[in-house]
């Protein structure tokens, strides 16, 4: 019963957030689609035309890394300060903090799916890709969603105890963008530097999506298993951290 009530609260808060975001505005939804498209346009110009990265179907390759990256990085940066910014609500009402965090993540995920639909479909037509593989898209996005939830939980909790976390996260993701094979393939990295990628958990969350849409499913199952392992491990760590810090959580808000 408690779990059902929890998800009812998450659903209602997510719907309320979506309605608030798009109330009396059409530009808000347009920007959800335009934002990744503009980023894609600038980066494809720089990396393909200026830096001359030679890769078959490079635009689809870039989309495979950029779209999930935008969701993950923006969601985590929005979620990290959420317990602090919503501290008055958490103190005033008997509401599970995980409801507020989950609603924020699902709000962003719904917007991500909208931008994904309007961005990816035209490129599939352009490259004459089979749409059959997209039936596995929900499975491919599972590690991304779980991993984003886990990292958001860990960092938002950390921010309650160390308020500078919010600023460090923004800086860290600026660095991670270049250290994660998003606009370049992994084989561009010299072998002596492969450890940077091998120990980067973000890559394992993004890779199943790219494997599905760019490589036609080659190595998809392996990347999916790795992604699920990393994301579930992060989630377990996040849950354990929450249980240990729950008693002092409200005192530090």
User: Can you tell me the mean pLDDT for 66-77?
Assistant: 95
Instruction: Give dist(CA 209, CA 223) in Å, integer.
Output: 9
Other CB atoms within a 10 A radius of the CB of residue 41 amount to 12
Query: pTM of the entire structure?
Result: 0.92
Higher pLDDT, 83 or 115: 83
User: Can you tell me the mean pLDDT for 148-157?
Assistant: 97
195's CB contacts (< 8 A; 6+ apart) are none
Higher pLDDT, 158 or 118: 158
The predicted-structure confidence for 209-224, as pLDDT tens digits, reads as follows 999 988 766 689 999 9
pLDDT, residue 218, reads: 67
The residue to which tokens 């500078």 are assigned: 164
pLDDT, residue 135, reads: 86
CB neighbour burial string for 120-159, b if at least 16 within 10 angstroms, e if fewer = beebbeeeebeeebbebbeebbbbbbbbbbbbbbbbbbbb
Residue 1 has pLDDT above 60, yes or no: no
**Inter-residue contact 84 to 160 (CB < 8 Å):** yes
User: Can you tell me the mean pLDDT for 213-238?
Assistant: 91
User: Can you tell me the mean pLDDT for 31-41?
Assistant: 81
Instruction: Give dist(CA 88, CA 131) in Å, integer.
Output: 47
């Amino acid at each position: 019963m408690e779990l059902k009530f929890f998800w009812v609260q998450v659903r209602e808060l997510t719907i309320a957030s979506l309605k608030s975001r798009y109330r009396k505005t059409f530009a808000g939804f347009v920007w959800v689609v335009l934002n990744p498209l503009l980023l894609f346009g600038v980066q494809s110009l720089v990396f393909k035309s200026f830096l001359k990265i030679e890769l078959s179907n490079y635009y689809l390759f870039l989309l495979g890394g950029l779209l999930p990256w935008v969701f993950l990085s923006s969601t985590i940066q929005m979620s990290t300060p959420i317990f602090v910014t919503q501290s008055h609500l958490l103190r005033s009402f008997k509401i599970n903090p995980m409801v507020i965090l989950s609603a924020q993540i699902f709000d962003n995920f719904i917007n991500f799916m909208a931008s994904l639909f309007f961005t990816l479909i035209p490129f599939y037509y352009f490259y004459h890709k089979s749409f059959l593989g997209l039936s596995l898209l929900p499975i491919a996005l599972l590690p991304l969603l779980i991993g984003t939830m886990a990292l958001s939980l860990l960092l938002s909790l950390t921010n309650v105890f160390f308020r500078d976390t919010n600023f460090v996260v923004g800086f860290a993701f600026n660095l991670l963008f270049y250290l994660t094979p998003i606009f370049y393939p992994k084989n561009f990295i010299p072998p002596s530097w492969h450890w940077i990628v091998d120990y980067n958990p973000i890559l394992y969350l993004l890779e199943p999506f790219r494997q599905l849409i760019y490589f036609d499913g080659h190595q998809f199952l392996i990347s999916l298993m790795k992604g699920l392992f990393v994301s579930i491990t992060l989630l377990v760590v996040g849950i354990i951290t929450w249980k240990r810090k729950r008693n002092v959580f409200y005192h530090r808000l």
